[in-house]
Amino acid sequence: VRDKNGTVYLGTGYDGKIFRVKAGRVKQIATTGQLVVTSLALDNKGNLYASTLPDPIIWKVSGPSKISGKPEAAKEWAKLPKGTEHVFTIAFGGRGKTLYAGTGPEGKLFAIGKDRRASVYLDLEEQHILSIAALGKGELAVGTSPGAKLLKVSGPGRASALADFEGTEVKALVVQKD
């Protein structure tokens, strides 16, 4: 994920580390203690959130642009409910007040507010929600597996198909803003 100043944050596999790339320099800034960082998102205050595997946890790194010295341990911010095995993707929607988490194997999209409680926002017949992008006006786009569907989510429990692709996954989404 890239912040408004152009700094890039990335998560790794096999050790769940988080790095910052700024002005051509790479620095490890946080650890999660998990196997894989699956997705990163920034809130409107510049805090960084990470989803990981194998545990269905959302981690928070406060002020990632200011971390110097040794990497910090990310703080557990929210744990998703029982039955959720994987958190594949996270993204802030709307005005950045709600974090959405795409999960599997039950194909649920969770909304997590400032209270850090996860509630089911959308429950699909698909097994996995692999990608999320905010479209504006409170709408989201989500990509699924194994049906490779692209859906527009317009509110709790409301989704409509934008595309049904060949293949098995819609793994990444980017929204171009004019």
Per-block mean pLDDT, blocks of 10 residues, the chain (178 long):
95 95 95 97 95 95 92 96 94 88 96 95 97 93 98 96 97 85
- For position 170, what pLDDT does the model report? 97
- For position 177, what pLDDT does the model report? 75
- For position 178, what pLDDT does the model report? 65
User: Going edge to edge, which strands form the sheet with 57-61?
Assistant: 36-42, 48-53, 57-61, 75-79
- Residue 152 CA to residue 140 CA, distance in Å, equals 6
- For position 117, what pLDDT does the model report? 95
Residue 91 CB-density burial (10 A; 0-12 exposed, 13-18 middle, 19+ buried): buried
- Residue 101 CA to residue 87 CA, distance in Å, equals 7
- For position 40, what pLDDT does the model report? 98
- For position 97, what pLDDT does the model report? 86
Chain centroid, CA 57 distance in Å: 11
